[in-house]
Structures are given as structure tokens and as C-alpha cells.
Amino acid sequence: MLSAWTFVAIWTAGVIASQRRVHPKALFYLFFVELWERFSYYGMRALLILYLTKSFGFSDDKAYGIYGAYGALVYATPVLGGLVADRLLGLRNSIVLGAVLMAMGHFAMAFPQQPVLYMALGFLIVGNGFFKPNISSLVGKLYPDGDLRRDSGFTLFYMGINTGAFLTPLTCGAIGELYGWHWGFSLAGIGMVIGLAVFLAGGRADAYEDKGLAPNPQLLTKQIGLFFRFRDVLYAGALLLVPCAAYLVRHNDITKWLVVGFGATVLCSLFAYALKQEKQQRERLFVVLVLFAFTVLFWTFFELAGSSISLFTDRNVNRTLAGYSLPASMFQGVNPLFIIVLAPLFAAAWKRLANRGVRLSAPTQFSLGLLQLGAGFLVLVAGASVAGPCGLAPLYSLVAAYLLHTTGELCLSPIGLSLVTKLSPKSITAFVMGIWFLSSSFAHTIGAEISKMTSQPAETAVLASSPAQSLHLYTGVFAAVGWVAVGAAVVLFALGPGIRRWMSGVR
């Protein structure tokens, strides 16, 4: 574990040293803010499905339902958080509010009572809604229109995300599984507090300059009654959303329909807004909507890593290495480790190609991402085919699948974040970024239903002594997922020329 931390620290320091004169200094503050925020988020994510099934004894179906509802709401609330930031609070105030709420949620997860569990998830959901879209939008504001550094900057920012994501399974995940769930969740809370401190330090250093401020500061300080300002009313409203989110996680059958209805309403509103714009802006927003659909598919399959792939790793992968059986949660760090190593190489490649006048279009990059994602699932299936009567797939097949998922993610996710900031009208960038994150909300909702296809019957839920019973369920679903992803890649590649025309020169 120490050697992994050392490697990541040295590698990250080297990347930052090589890029610090190329990008605005604010990028590196935001890099570390996102690193620690993702440390906290993925620390909880690495433990959640295992915590629900092992500590609370929930069935697979119930655990998948909670995990899916939590993930869906985590990525639905950024629509609201982005809208409030654009119109009222500003990006920077919203980021601070979100960080505080998430820290409260992580520390609350340390208390192993069901009512507290749901309330803690509520804090995390609402906090993420204010944090996630606005820090990405703030990164986009660091670069003027047409700046060739933007894609490279977002890829480096994405490296910060995954540095935090890598460190958590080795710390929060391993500590939570081996020494107690409450220690793992508490460590995630500490990570969130550190992230908040780094963001405030960037503000004191004036790294963000005038970017991300409230659009109307006088409105925020307007007195409401005798004791409150308008800003206080907004903060109180955010707190009131927490028990609502907790209720929806607990009653997750309602949540999936609510997410579908809410998502459809938001997408229709964006479509209606696009129709009112002049031709170029209208077509650019149409591109966002088309690529949104393929992004939903990508994240639906990718996010199975936190649910069915996590239990597959626990039950059907030979995790013995050098005579030691590794905790299943530690493998949540394989994907981010690959991103840490590969993200600088991808960033350098995009920048070098751009300097030479060769820039792969977004549809082409998205197609490559889907193709590699599908190939990763097919590698899992191939590994399971040599599992033998013991029902344990070889470790190398899991690692190879994560490698392909990672290269696919690097072709799609940071490019998508950058693209939203290029194609969106400046007045609603954070709102559109929130809609973009809504793709992950749909993904968790659909992914929960896919995961349930791998659920074990209640009478065979404990499969440690009979992993062969579960193997065929997982591989059947993974094979179908893999081929659907490959087919979607082919379709998107064919649509590419038409989409590029709508982008009006944006690459």
C-alpha cells in the first residue's frame, strides 16, 4: 500500500511540475480539490455495496436498489446545483456549500444505524449536486474560447479525479473491510474536509481571479426578515432537500420513476431552449443532446463496476496475490490507477495532435470509448470461461477489463466535459453541465436493473462456498452488455459526419 502511495505521489508531482507553466495556476488548485473530493466519494463508493450486503445483511436486490437510487440522485441533483449557481449563488459559493454537506454525509456514514445511513446518503446527494457541475464549469472558465489547452487541461483535471479515486480503495476501502466500516467512512470525511481547505486556499491566493463569482452579489446579501439574508435562505433550502433525498433512497422504487420523469422534463426544456436559439447555437445544443444519449449508455455499463462487478470480484475472481487474498474493494482502485498513468499521455497526445492540426472529433472519440468499454466486458467473459469447476476467474482478466474500460473512459469522459463548455451558451454553462451529469443519473437507474439480473436467490445469497453457482449469471449479463456497447460504437461512428456538421467547427 505504501509503495502504491509513493508511486502515485511521485508520478503526480512530476506531471504537475511539467505542466505548471502551461496551464493557469487555478487548474492545479482545482486538481487537488477534486482529488480530495473524489477520495471521499470513491472511498464511500468502494465500500457501499459491500457494506449493505455484509454489515446490514441486505439482499442483492435491495442493495442494488439503494446503490442505484443513490447514484441516480447523486447525478440528478447537479442539474439543480448548476442552475442555482448560474442564476444565484455563483460557482464558488456553490462548491463550498456542496463540500460542507458532503463532509457531513461522510462522517454520518460512520454510524451503523439504518435511519442514519439514509440521512447520510441524503447529505452526500445534495452536496454533490452543488459541487460536481460547478467545479467542472469553473475549470472551463479558466480558458478563453478557442484555447487549444482546454482539452489537455480537462484531461489533467480528470487525472486529479482519478488520483483520489485510486487512493481510496487502498485506504478507505481496505481499512473499512479489514478494521471496521466506520473507520473507512470517517477517513472519506477527512478527505472531503481537506478538499474544502484546498479550495478556500485557492481563493485566498486569488488563483481564481474574478471567475466563478455570484452573478448578482447584492441579491445574496439582501436582508430577508430581521435575521437572515437571501444567501441564508438558499442554504436552508439545501438542507431541507436532505431528508427528501434520504426518503427517495430508502423508497428507491419511487426514485427510478422520479428520475426518469425529472430527466425527461429537463431534457425537453433544453430541447425547447435550443429551438429558440439561432441556427449555430441550436445545432450545437442538439449535438449535446445526441452525445448525451450515447454517454448514458457508456456510464450505464461502466458504473456496473460499483455494483455487479464489485460482487463478481468478491465472489468469482481469484484475488490471491503472493499468497495473500486481497479485499474486493481494493480493485476499485485499478481503473483510477490506469487513469493516473495514462491521463498525462492522453493529454499530451491530444495537445500534440492539435498543434499539428489533427484533432479527432468528439463523435469519433466517443465511438472509441464505447468500443473499448464493450471489449472490456468481453474480456471478463473470456476470463470466466477458464474459471474451471471452482468458479473463480483469473485475476488478470479483471485487470485487463479495467484497462480497456479506462482507455475507453479517457476517450469519452474528459472530452465530454470539455465539449459541454465549448458548445453551451455562457449564460447556462453550469446548468448544461448539470444536465450532462444527468447521464450518470440515468445510468445508475438503468444499471440497477441490469445488476438485478445477476442477483442471487435469497437461499443462495451467501456464495463463498459455491462461486460456480453465480458465475453463469454474471457472464451472461456481461456478454450482452459487451456486444451492445460495441454495436453502439459502430452506430455512433456512422452518425459522426452529420454530428460534426452541427458542431460548426468546434472539435
pLDDT tens per residue across span 2-15: 555 566 667 666 76
In DSSP terms, 229 is beta-bridged to 223
**Ranges of the chain whose pLDDT falls below 70:** 1-9, 11-13, 15-17, 19-20, 46, 151, 169-170, 172-174, 177, 456-466, 505-507
What pTM did the predictor assign? 0.71
Alpha helices per DSSP H over 276-394: 279-302, 308-316, 334-355, 362-384
CATH 1.20.120.450 applies to domain 24-502:
no
Phi-psi domain of 472 (left: phi exceeds 0; alpha: psi -120 through 50; beta: other): alpha
**Could you tell me which residues are beta bridge partners of residue 402?**
none
DSSP string, 9-45: HHHHHHHHHHHTTTS-HHHHHHHHHHHHHHHHHHHHH
Compute how many other C-beta atoms are within 10 angstroms of the C-beta atom of residue 197: 14
Cα dihedral angle (71, 176, 161, 20), rounded to 10 degrees? 160
Predicted local confidence at residue 186, as pLDDT = 82
Cell for 480? 450482452
pLDDT value of residue 97: 93
User: What angle (nearest 5°) sits at the alpha carbon of residue 291, between those of residues 286 and 292?
Assistant: 90
Q: Residue 465 has what pLDDT? A: 45
pLDDT (0 to 100) of residue 177: 67
Q: What pLDDT was estimated at residue 462?
A: 45
Q: Which residues contact 252 (CB under 8 A, 6 or more apart)?
A: 65, 66, 68, 69, 448
pLDDT of residue 401: 93
Q: Which pLDDT score, from 0 to 100, does residue 245 have?
A: 92
pLDDT of residue 488: 95
Q: Give the C-alpha separation, 385 to 194, whole Å.
A: 44
Q: Is 393 helix (H, G, I), strand (E, B) or coil?
A: strand
The full set of domain ranges for the chain reads 24-502
What integer pLDDT is reported at residue 3 of this predicted model?
A: 59
